[in-house]
Amino acid sequence: MTNFIIGTCGHIDHGKTSLIRALNGFEGDTTYEEQQRGITIDLSFSNMQKGHQNIAFIDVPGHEKLVKNMIAGAFGFDCVMIVISAAEGIKPQTIEHIEILNLLGVKNAVVVLTKKDLVDNASLEAKKEEISLFLKAYDFNLLLFESVSIYDTQSIEELKSNLFKLNAQSKTQENFFRYYIDRVFSSKGTGTVVTGTVLGKPIQLNDKLYLCDLKKEVKVKNLQVHNNNVLEANISNRAAINLQGIQTHELQRGMLLSKKGYLRGFNTLDIHFNALKNKILKHNQTYTVFIGSKKIDANILLFNSTQGLETGFATIKSQEELFCVFGEKLILRQGNETIAGGVVLNPINDPLKKHNKLKLLEALSNNNIVQAYEILLQSHKKGLGLISSAQRFALSHEEALEIAQNLNDSFIDKKALVLYPLSSKITLKEIIASIYKKNQYALLSVASLALRLKWASENLIESVLLDLTYENMLIKEGNLYKNAHIKEDFTQALHEVILNRLIQEDISPTAPYNIYDDLDIDRKMGDTILKSLCAKKQVIRLQHNLFIYANSLNKIVNEMTQIIKKEGYIDINNFKGNFQLSRKYLITYLDYLDNFSNIKKIENRRVFV
């Protein structure tokens, strides 16, 4: 089914809600206050269908004090229906709505002159000409211009027929599911229900979703599109989602649903903005930011001015985290005035100096993603995750990899989806070389180095190790790399090194992995050596990570039996009084006594039988 969303805009009492009612029979003003005052206060949602075609409507309020509600719906528009009374023409709220939609980048437009029965034909044609001239100042793609009266059925039917001929879907397919909540309610017998517009990838029944603002997972218990139960909701569908795992009171308009792992939240984001005519955005002032259906107060910091600018780059600094994507549009207002519109350029807070940040924003403003990657790599010496490209640049993993492959002086780990500057290889080479210089008997693998160097991916490590073998510094034997200048087999030497280490540590041996790291030995190799020492009875394994030299164990057992002879028993208290060991060792050695037939345990004490 083809689907797109038409949103209304226009001055109060120009007939937006009445027009929707005439088109599809939907009564938008349903609340008591709306019916009493005779105006639309909040958003209303409806649709009409013809065969496999569906047109969804978002009807917004026209009152100047309710612009915030209008903006909350406007982000979901594929097309705007500019509703203007033929009797009154363009009015203040018509202009403000048009300006807001222009700032939000809504291109597709339909103009509907309502109440044509109140004017003669000459006046109607004059109004059309006046409106067409006015709209030329804006960047709209005018798809249709109609004149109607709700009392003229033929004009309504012609408009409806022409609307079904349109293909106005304008949302770009994103790489993951996003959905701003615009209504929350509880349905008896159903539970928590939210409504919103599907952005990006489809959502399916039983999907697990992630509430970004609450950092909480929920499940799609039921899914409806225009009151019909469905298995899937696609881009531009107005969808009602019955959520499992969340209470209604925990949710509010503006919260964002997505899939886990795609979006990170930050208290700052960088934008490019354009102010409306005769207005400027001022530095270090608080504005109300409208993004999606979210509304927050935030501080605006300009990049190139301490006063104010009509256009430029700025940072939005918020008290709460923002989960935005590259290219997302927003509106900045102050009080009841719309000041500017902006586009998100940098949704991720990177540790960049100001001059580098400006270079990045200029590159992003020109959609030069290659240059943006090059700038970011300068500050991500230990790797830039390509998985973040979905949020950072609105790119799929495949698109990000394709761009990364065209970069100079970089290393790409396609499996881990990490991009490194070549300087990372140099740094890593120096680290590995220093290990073998410090310990000529070091015996390491890719896996053991990855455990030690968390920032380096296994493919990057392997690439550097292979470079070192080509340089005749290392020799690869199986999965292990050893010093190329040591010709003899030093496995036996490592046995002696580990055994001597345990002899020195006596009754307080450190965990094996710490020994391996200290001696620069691969963990798998270290485990093999310890198994061999245990098989020879030179070392005894007491616990998973506790190995002790056999003579040291015999010594501590003899000391413990002396305590029993002297005091009649041994427990953790009198044991600790004689040996200043940690609780881990005390309990382990006490448990080991249970292996002897002449000792039994009574409650927490060990005594002779």
In the chain, CATH 1.10.10.10 sits at 550-608
Residue 320 pLDDT > 90: yes
Burial of 310 (0-12, 13-18, 19+ CB in 10 A): middle
- Cβ neighbours of residue 89 closer than 8 Å, sequence gap 6 or more: 127, 130, 131
d(CA 184, CA 250): 10
d(CA 6, CA 69): 16
Q: What percent of the chain has pLDDT over 70?
A: 95
Provide the 10 A C-beta neighbour count for residue 454.
Answer: 8
> pLDDT tens-digit profile of 69-124?
777 777 778 899 999 999 988 988 888 888 888 888 888 999 999 999 999 999 99
Looking at residues 482-488, what average pLDDT do you find? Answer: 80
Question: Please, which pLDDT band fits residue 34 given cuts at 50, 70 and 90?
Answer: very low
Whether 560 and 589 have beta carbons less than 8 Å apart is answered as: yes
What is the token pair recorded at 193?
A: 């229900």
Instruction: Give pLDDT, residue 61.
Output: 66
Instruction: Give pLDDT, residue 1.
Output: 63
Q: What pTM did the predictor assign?
A: 0.78
3-state secondary structure of 226: coil
Instruction: Give pLDDT, residue 26.
Output: 77
Fold of 271-346: Elongation Factor Tu (Ef-tu); domain 3 (2.40.30)
Q: Give the largest Cα separation in the chain, rounded.
A: 119
Token pair 């995750």 is found at: 385
> pLDDT tens-digit profile of 524-562?
888 889 998 999 899 999 988 899 999 999 999 999 999
d(CA 240, CA 227): 8
- Cβ neighbours of residue 156 closer than 8 Å, sequence gap 6 or more: 22, 23, 148, 150
In the chain, CATH 2.40.30.10 sits at 178-258, 271-346
> pLDDT tens-digit profile of 265-274?
999 999 999 9
CATH architecture of 550-608: Orthogonal Bundle (1.10)
Instruction: Give pLDDT, residue 265.
Output: 95
Question: Please, which pLDDT band fits residue 220 given cuts at 50, 70 and 90?
Answer: very high
As a CATH number, domain 178-258 is: 2.40.30.10
Ordered DSSP codes for 28-52: ---SHHHHHHTS--S-EEEEEEETT
Question: Please, which pLDDT band fits residue 40 given cuts at 50, 70 and 90?
Answer: very low
d(CA 473, CA 468): 5
Provide the 10 A C-beta neighbour count for residue 150.
Answer: 16
Residue 474 pLDDT > 90: yes
> pLDDT tens-digit profile of 409-441?
899 999 999 999 999 999 999 999 998 888 888
Amino acid code (one letter) for 367: N
Looking at residues 441-454, what average pLDDT do you find? Answer: 89
Question: Is domain 2-164 annotated with CATH 3.40.50.300?
Answer: yes
In the chain, CATH 3.40.50.300 sits at 2-164
Instruction: Give pLDDT, residue 336.
Output: 83
Question: Please, which pLDDT band fits residue 11 given cuts at 50, 70 and 90?
Answer: confident
